[in-house]
Amino acid sequence: MNHTQKHTIKHSMKHTLLAGLAALISATTLLGAEPKSPTPLPNTTRTARPLDPGREFITNAKFGIFVHYTVEYAHLLGKPEPALWDLDAKANAFDVKAFADAVEGMGAQYVTLTSFHAAMYLLAPSKVMVDAGLSKHQAKRDLLGEVADELNKRGIALCLYVHPTDQHDLSQEERALFGWGPEVNGLPGPKLGEWPNPKWDKFLLGLFKEISLRYGKRVAGYWIDQHSGKVFPDAGRLAVALRAGNPDAVIWQNSGAYVPAGLSLESAWPACEGGDPSHGEKDQCCILPTDNAWFLGKKVQIPAPEVFRGVVRCAGCPGQKGGVHVALTPYADAYAPPVKQMMDDFGKLWRERKVSLLNTKPSKILQLEQKSNPWEVVATDSADGSIVYVHVMIPPDGKALHLPPLNDSRKLICVSLLLGGNEVKFKQSDESLELTLPADMKWDPVDTVVVLKVGPAFEPGVILSENAKLEISSTCGHDVVANHARLFSGEKVPFAFHTDSEKNPWAKIDLGGVRTLRTVEIENREGEQERTKGLVMSISEDGQKWEEVWQAKSWVTTWIARMTQSSGGTVTSGRKARFIKLETRGESPRPLVLKRVTVFGVM
């Protein structure tokens, strides 16, 4: 999603796209065209702290606070403002301890703070700025270093917002230092210059490298913004410079904007600039709870319970990493009282339930298909896979919650409420799971967390299907025979085969010999509910006599079918078969398409 906010300050107009999460690339050396490593400045000694927040820490984090503290905004609560662009006044006024207290009280795992923005006023000293003739654009106080140290010692990571093309508020004289004339090819007030500009590239990369070398692992990552289509050329250089002092640093890019310029999504995760607390988002989003979006907010527009549910929904979103930003910019000495109260209210909810969120991952044991918006229920797994936390944010009408069955043939040991520990009754089958609150209990209006203690996972065995052969009931113009083998191995394609439209399309898989099948994983193409819902699986040892062993009860992206059989009241793992048939049945013709089928078992 893309949102552009215009903010007029005296005679300048600024367009800033904000967003989120991206990045992890391997450490490399700076390109030869970039400047030599600048000499670190004073007051940059790394302090001891209880953790070293790197990429794993950020990957598993659930939420951070996005702060736009820049020179053009109000800086002291209820006091007169200094002159516009008075960088030292803004930097000196910032109360690091009060800010860290508020962040810690809310429970954030990291902060993303503007290192500079709007005419590139850096909240720290910089030799690179001085050498470029921009001495007024670097603060005497190393505010970034002080914030890093204060947060780090509390176990909170610091990431820095950076902007490769944020020169649009420089004066004409300052722009002339880089060879730009007035009002050329860009925005008014003054306008952007011609692009790209090798002299600017060299300066910017030197500044990024200086920042990274100074702070090293005190800064856990960098968030790269963009501006109005002026994308930094050969953008992979940005990541190299920003990793000069911390090879483990995460790197985030705004909405994948730099991909065309060479910064891949594998190197820098994409993110969206806005956020909707009603649903989870795989890429990092940004919830904007106050009246001034990313900037200094004085009023609360999204209350703490809804912000909290947004964090929970992202925590349970498959593929999620890094959590969600909550945009909360303070005055220099404090947050506005309504905003601080919201943060405190959020912190209470977080402390009560954080065990069900911290060090968890979106559940693979209980996979939920989200059919409504807002999302009603999400689930998270503990790191060791022994507990599933079910977060019920929009409760059912009665006491009973109906869920799909647990994956991996997991069996429930016991079920209870996180708050209070009361026992929850359950009914478990191969088809479904039902949880029922005690008669004297009510669903929590914010988030009822139900704790499922589960037994060990079913052991699937080895992959049996890598060299399997495929036969399909029909073909069509969309079917590519060369892709059939990709149903089983190799690079995935959106669909490995495509039958014609028919009432009973099928695909037969030949494993090459009779095997003991334990698990069959069936991956659908995204959005193919109508083509594969109700999928039926049958197995055969000889290809003539078939036994139906599984049918999809609901549509999910990946089905996991366990092969078990009962004898004398005992359920055992495994079914003998050489052939597997997957088919749909119905009155209306439809094609059958699948992305990947993986068969596990014993040779």
* Cα–Cα distance for residue pair 206/240, rounded to 1 Å: 11
Q: Round to whole Å and give the CA distance between 395 and 385.
A: 25
Amino acid at residue number 54: G
The per-residue pLDDT for range 571-593, each reduced to its tens digit, is 677 899 999 999 999 989 999 99
Quick count: other Cβ atoms within 10 Å of Cβ 473? 16
The DSSP bridge partners found for residue 126 are: none
3 state SS of 93 = helix
Q: What span, in angstroms and rounded, lies between the C-alpha atoms of 590 and 475?
A: 12
DSSP per-residue letters across 143-211: HHHHHHHHHHTTT-EEEEEE-TT--TTS-HHHHHTTT--SS-SS-SSSPP-SS--HHHHHHHHHHHHHH
Which amino acid would we find at residue 456? Answer: P
User: What was the pLDDT predicted at 148?
Assistant: 97
Which of helix, strand or coil describes residue 346?
helix
pLDDT tens for each residue of 94-117: 999 999 999 999 999 999 999 998
Name the percent of the chain lying above pLDDT 70: 84
Give the confidence band of 61 by pLDDT, cuts at 50, 70, 90: very high
The pLDDT assigned to 35 comes to 34
- Indicate whether 78 pLDDT > 80: no
Amino acid identity at 552: A
Rounded CA separation 377/393 (Å): 6
Cα maximum dimension of the chain:
89
Token pair of 178 as six digits: 């880089």
User: What mean pLDDT is reported for the chain?
Assistant: 85
When mean pLDDT is compared over 42-56, 158-172, 260-274, 423-437, the highest value belongs to: 423-437
Residue 351 to residue 357: CA distance in whole angstroms? 10
Give dist(CA 451, CA 124) in Å, integer: 46
Which residues have C-beta within 8 Å of that of residue 598, sequence separation ≥ 6? 463, 465, 488, 520, 521, 523
Residue 253: closest CA among 170, 162, 137 = 162
Q: Which tens digits make up the pLDDT trace of 211-270?
A: 999 999 999 999 998 865 566 788 899 999 999 999 999 998 888 888 888 887 777 777
Mean pLDDT of 356-371: 93
In this structure, the chain runs to a length of 603
CA 410 and chain centroid, separation: 27
CA distance 374 to 179: 51
CB burial of residue 568 (10 Å; 0-12, 13-18, 19+): exposed
pLDDT at position 26 over 50: no
In this prediction, what percent of the chain has a pLDDT beyond 90?
62
- Residues 406 and 458: their CA atoms lie apart, in Å, by 11
Q: Please tell me the chain's helix, strand, coil percentages from 3-state DSSP, rounded to the nearest 5.
A: 20, 25, 50
Angle between helices 198-215 and 143-152 (to 10 degrees): 40
Q: What is the 3-state secondary structure (H, E, C) of 25-49?
A: CCCCCCCCCCCCCCCCCCCCCCCCC
> Is residue 569 very low, low, confident or very high in pLDDT (cuts 50, 70, 90)?
low
User: Do 190 and 181 contact (CB within 8 A), yes or no?
Assistant: no
**Residue 601, helix vs strand vs coil:** strand
DSSP structural state of residue 236: H
What the chain holds in terms of domains, given with CATH numbers, is 5-356 (3.20.20.80), 363-454 (2.60.40.1180), 462-602 (2.60.120.260)
Name the least confident of 37-41, 90-94, 395-399: 37-41
Q: How far apart are CA 102 and CA 108, in angstroms?
A: 9
Q: Give the single-character DSSP code of 484.
A: G
Q: What is the pLDDT of residues 293-346, one digit of tens each?
A: 888 889 999 999 999 999 999 999 987 778 899 999 999 999 999 999 999 999
Check: CB of residue 536 under 8 Å from CB of residue 560: no
Q: Given this model, what pLDDT does residue 451 score?
A: 98
Tell me: pLDDT of 180 over 80. Answer: no
**Least trusted range by pLDDT, from 60-74, 446-460, 506-520:** 60-74
Amino acid at 239: A
**What's the token pair of residue 24?**
């992890």
Task: Give the DSSP H/E element, type plus range, for residue 498.
Answer: strand 497-498
Exposure string over 22-49, b if 16+ CB within 10 A, otherwise e: bbbbeeeebeeebbeebeeeeebeeeeb
Angle at 207 between CA 201 and CA 210, to 5 degrees: 140
The model's pLDDT over 389-448, given as tens digits with 9 standing for 90+, comes to 999 999 999 999 999 999 877 889 999 999 999 999 999 987 899 999 999 999 999 999
Counting beta carbons within 10 angstroms of the beta carbon of residue 92, is it exposed (0 to 12), middle (13 to 18) or buried (19 or more)? middle
Residue whose C-alpha is closest to residue 121's, from 106, 138, 108:
138
Beta carbons within 10 angstroms of residue 278's beta carbon: 15
Question: Residue 165's CB: how many other CB atoms inside 10 A?
Answer: 20
The helix-helix angle for 96-106 and 337-353 (nearest 10°) equals: 40
Residue with tokens 């210059």: 193
Assess whether pLDDT exceeds 70 at residue 357.
Answer: yes
- Token pair listed for 23: 């990045």
Specify whether the CB–CB gap between 595 and 587 falls below 8 A.
Answer: no
Give the pLDDT confidence score for residue 29 in this predicted structure: 29
Q: H/E/C letters for each residue in 421-437?
A: CCECEEEECCCCEEEEC
